[in-house]
Amino acid sequence: MSYTEDDLIPLSALQHLLFCERQTALIHIERVWEENRYTAEGRILHNKAHDGKPETRDGVRITRGLPLRSFTLGIVGQADVVLWKPPDEMSQRIVQQTMSRRLHGDRENGLPGWTVTPMEYKRGRPKKNDCDLVQLCAQAICLEEMLGVTIPTGQLFYGEKRRRFDVEFNDGLRAITERAAIRLHELIRSGITPPAVKEKKCETCSLLSICLPKIAGQQRSARKYFERELSKITDTT
């Protein structure tokens, strides 16, 4: 399936989706947002990653805040950092010229021998679910589509661990990412916010005071109570 410019959804919504579909709908359908300590720390970390100027270290070109889009997944966003490692014999002048041509849509000469690596910054530590992996994989798919290259790996940098973790973009992770993108578009097109379900992860969600999963759960329990009481009355008449 291929999407148009009008169909593109923020890439970050993929992470929201894998964390909680209700949160995704509140943000991207109902357009509500509230910040807490976790989101503020994450925003500051991302801003620092994006604000730096392009530079070259040990022969590797580093770009920050690179715009991304994929018409295959129907997403648009930014990469925190992209590392560009050219073939050893290429001069830095040729490196920058080649990168510029590719990012502006010139695929005639390709990027033979180059290694392109997206890197995403996260405030906490590696998560038990796939939300960070999917977000990074989606960035790689965007870059592959934009540049006509194959990207086998990326990196996640976690603030609490203060180090990078390598991520392999294997067939399994790519399939999960593609399914997540399909589900994301289905959810947004439906215009329906899923009901609240109280879970442990709710305590870290910035939208907890808006979502109110505990109250919603109590409301469902009250409804069931009245249904049971009504059935008792019906049975005795």
- Find the range with the poorest average confidence among 16-30, 90-104, 155-169: 90-104
**What whole-number percentage of the chain has pLDDT above 90?**
48
Q: What percent of the chain has pLDDT over 70?
A: 72
**Paired strand residues for 69:** 76
Most confident of the following: 88-97, 142-151, 204-213 = 142-151
Decide if pLDDT at 224 tops 70: no
For domain 5-194, the question of CATH label 1.20.5 is answered with: no
Q: pLDDT value at position 119? A: 96
Check residue 225 and give its pLDDT.
47
- What pLDDT shows up at residue 99? 61
Q: How confident is the model at residue 167 (pLDDT cuts 50, 70, 90)?
A: very high
Can you tell me whether residue 111 is helix, strand or coil? coil
Higher pLDDT, residue 108 or 49: 49
Domain coordinates in residue numbering, the chain = 5-194, 195-237
Question: DSSP letters of 157-176?
Answer: EETTTTEEEEEE--HHHHHH
**Range with the lowest mean pLDDT among 8-22, 35-49, 78-92, 165-179?**
35-49
Q: What is the DSSP string of 48-71?
A: HHHHSPPEEETTEEEEEEEEEEET
Specify the pLDDT at position 226.
52
Q: Is 218 a residue whose pLDDT tops 70? A: no
Residues 168-178: what's their mean pLDDT? 97
Distance (Å) of CA 89 to CA 85, 95, 166: 11, 10, 26
Beta strands in 11-170 (DSSP E): 55-57, 60-70, 75-85, 115-122, 153-158, 163-168
SS3 41: helix
